[in-house]
């Protein structure tokens, strides 16, 4: 087989991002060229494990995945540390960002058929099923390692879509236009959102398959089947521990958010009218607000100056405010195409990724 010039630099299988590591981890993933693109000009070269060059400009991130990087490598970089962080009691989020067709969905879920029960060991399986496979295995391990305590876990999942600034429950699509609420005890939450307990891979794949089949895709004159919605798969992991020796008990809770963002391409207005035009504006609102917040947070992290952070200006940023500069560890997988034809969107994704790199979060363990 061809020897790869640069392997992806991966953390150890069970690697933990140190608790002092509050930076946003940014991974750039270049998808393989499609059939048409192979004949065209490819403009990105990986120049080291953490950098790439495009048309003479070099960009550096935490890691760069090239056209040959595998789903397992992405899991090792992002998913394995996420599971460890979660078990340690940190809220942990992964966002997939990039233009439509750059590989966000492939990265987060894998191709649709890789989710089927009999394909669970497929190489193509995406980040989300791998995270749960690891999570359940580690929970098992923890329970065996702490056999002297009563250690119990509960994992509850929900799956929602933000489309046209409306929240729909992907596990019960009759629940549309759900409202965001906030209180001191629960933080920000979605009222009436379905939550289901999961304890096996079968439970998780059933939820994923159901939710993904309820996702909307829209088509415009420019992009057929483009993904114009943001989807958020959330799992709350609660652990209770009671020591047999002295009866002392503790409770830890943490939240995993796996977020597949809508295509980041500029919404061209040609051909869009009525609902489509309104939708373009609203989708822009959540994404452009995300971009705004990333700019503000990067500035706050760099200068230390306090500023008002307008989380509430879009559903996406309000819902995910904890992940953005708050009490969570955040990884961003930014997906790009290697093709000349995507040059301007790719450069825009790279700039977004660079700004995201500057943010510092303030993750703390949620334990009582
Ligand atoms: P997005 O969600 O960003 O719109 P997709 O994940 O749907 O993009 O990817 C577009 C196409 O490219 C799909 O057919 C997908 O299977 C393929 N693809 C994306 N990334 C990879 C990859 N790393 N390896 C193989 N195929 C990929």
pLDDT of res. 265: 87
List C-alpha distances in Å: 259 to 42, 51, 107, 159, 278: 28, 24, 11, 10, 23
21 domain-assigned: no
How many distinct structural domains can be found in the chain? 1
CA distance 163 to 18: 35
Q: Please compute Rg for the chain using Cα positions.
A: 20
- List the one residue out of 122, 97, 178 whose CA is nearest residue 351: 97
- Given pLDDT bands bounded at 50, 70 and 90, which one contains residue 21? low
35 Cα to the center of ligand 1, angstroms:
13
**Per-residue model confidence as pLDDT tens digits over 104-157:** 999 999 986 777 666 667 889 999 999 999 999 999 999 999 888 889 999 999
368 domain-assigned: no
CB atoms inside a 10 Å sphere around CB 144: 9
103 Cα to the center of ligand 1, angstroms:
4
DSSP per position, 116-184? SGGGTT-TT--HHHHHHHHHHHHHHHHHHHTTTEEEEEEEEEEEEEEETTEEEETTSTT--SB-EEEET
List C-alpha distances in Å: 229 to 159, 287, 319, 345: 13, 10, 15, 18
365 Cα to the center of ligand 1, angstroms:
35
The residue with tokens 């929240």 is 167
Testing ligand 1's pocket by substitution, the residue of 27, 31, 123, 259 carrying the most ligand atoms inside 8 A of its CB is: 31
The end-to-end CA distance of the chain, in Å, is 52
**Per-residue model confidence as pLDDT tens digits over 50-73:** 999 999 999 999 999 999 999 999
Name the 3-class secondary structure at 368.
coil
Q: Whose CA is nearest to atom 20 of ligand 1?
A: 103
Name the 3-class secondary structure at 364.
coil
**Per-residue model confidence as pLDDT tens digits over 64-105:** 999 999 999 999 999 999 999 999 989 999 999 999 999 999
100 Cα to the center of ligand 1, angstroms:
9
Relative to the CA of 69, which ligand 1 atom is closest? 23
Q: Whose CA is nearest to atom 10 of ligand 1?
A: 101
pTM above 0.80, yes or no: yes
Testing ligand 1's pocket by substitution, the residue of 44, 106, 262, 265 carrying the most ligand atoms inside 8 A of its CB is: 106
Testing ligand 1's pocket by substitution, the residue of 75, 103, 264 carrying the most ligand atoms inside 8 A of its CB is: 103
Name the 3-class secondary structure at 73.
helix
Q: Which residues pair with 67 in a beta bridge?
A: none
What's CA 255's distance to the chain center, in Å?
A: 13
4 Cα to the center of ligand 1, angstroms:
21
List C-alpha distances in Å: 261 to 85, 102, 266, 350: 22, 12, 14, 16
19 domain-assigned: no
Relative to the CA of 106, which ligand 1 atom is closest? 6
300 domain-assigned: yes
291 domain-assigned: yes
60 domain-assigned: yes
Name the 3-class secondary structure at 342.
helix
Relative to the CA of 34, which ligand 1 atom is closest? 12
Relative to the CA of 227, which ligand 1 atom is closest? 4
Cβ proximity of 127 and 107 under 8 Å: yes
Where does ligand 1 bind, in terms of residues with CB under 6 Å?
A: 31-32, 98, 100-106, 111, 227, 263, 335
12 domain-assigned: no
* Statement: residue 266 has pLDDT above 60: yes
288 or 38: which carries more pLDDT confidence?
288
CATH code assigned at 90: 3.40.850.10
pLDDT of res. 268: 60
Provide the percentage of residues in the chain whose pLDDT is more than 90. 54
38 domain-assigned: yes
221 Cα to the center of ligand 1, angstroms:
21
* Statement: residue 217 has pLDDT above 80: no
224 Cα to the center of ligand 1, angstroms:
15
* Statement: residue 278 has pLDDT above 80: no
Q: Which domain holds residue 353?
A: 26-357
Q: Whose CA is nearest to atom 5 of ligand 1?
A: 103
């Amino acid at each position: 087989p061809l020897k790869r010039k640069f392997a992806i630099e991966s953390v150890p299988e069970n690697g933990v991002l140190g608790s002092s590591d509050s930076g946003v981890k940014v991974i750039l993933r270049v998808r393989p060229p499609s059939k048409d693109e192979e004949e065209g000009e490819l403009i990105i070269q990986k120049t080291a494990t953490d950098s790439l060059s495009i048309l003479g400009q070099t960009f550096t991130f935490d890691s760069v995945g090239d056209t040959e990087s595998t789903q397992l490598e992405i899991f090792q970089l992002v998913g394995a540390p996420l599971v460890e962080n979660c078990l340690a009691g940190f809220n942990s989020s992964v966002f997939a960002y990039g233009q439509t067709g750059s590989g966000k969905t492939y990265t987060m879920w894998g191709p649709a058929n890789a989710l089927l029960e009999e394909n669970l060991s497929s190489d193509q399986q995406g980040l989300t099923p791998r995270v749960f496979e690891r999570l359940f295995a580690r929970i098992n391990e923890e329970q065996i390692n702490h056999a002297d305590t009563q250690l119990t876990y509960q994992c509850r999942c929900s799956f929602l879509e933000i489309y046209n600034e409306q929240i729909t429950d992907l596990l019960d699509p009759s629940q549309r236009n759900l409202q965001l609420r906030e209180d001191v005890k629960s933080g920000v939450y979605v009222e009436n959102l379905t939550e289901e307990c999961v304890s096996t891979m079968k439970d998780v794949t059933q939820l994923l398959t159901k939710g993904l089949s309820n996702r909307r895709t829209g088509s415009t004159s420019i992009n057929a089947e483009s993904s114009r919605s943001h989807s958020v798969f959330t799992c709350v992991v609660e652990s209770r521990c009671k020591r047999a020796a002295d009866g002392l008990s503790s409770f830890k809770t943490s939240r995993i958010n796996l977020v597949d963002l809508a295509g980041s391409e500029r919404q061209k207005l040609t051909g869009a009218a009525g609902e489509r035009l309104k939708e373009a504006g609203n989708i822009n609102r959540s994404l452009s607000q995300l971009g705004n917040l990333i700019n503000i947070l990067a500035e706050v992290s760099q200068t230390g100056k306090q500023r008002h952070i307008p989380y509430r200006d879009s559903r996406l940023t309000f819902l995910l405010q904890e992940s953005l500069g708050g009490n969570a560890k955040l990884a961003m997988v930014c997906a790009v195409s290697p093709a000349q034809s995507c040059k301007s969107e790719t450069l825009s994704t790279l700039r977004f990724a660079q700004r995201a790199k500057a943010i510092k979060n303030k993750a703390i363990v949620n334990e009582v």
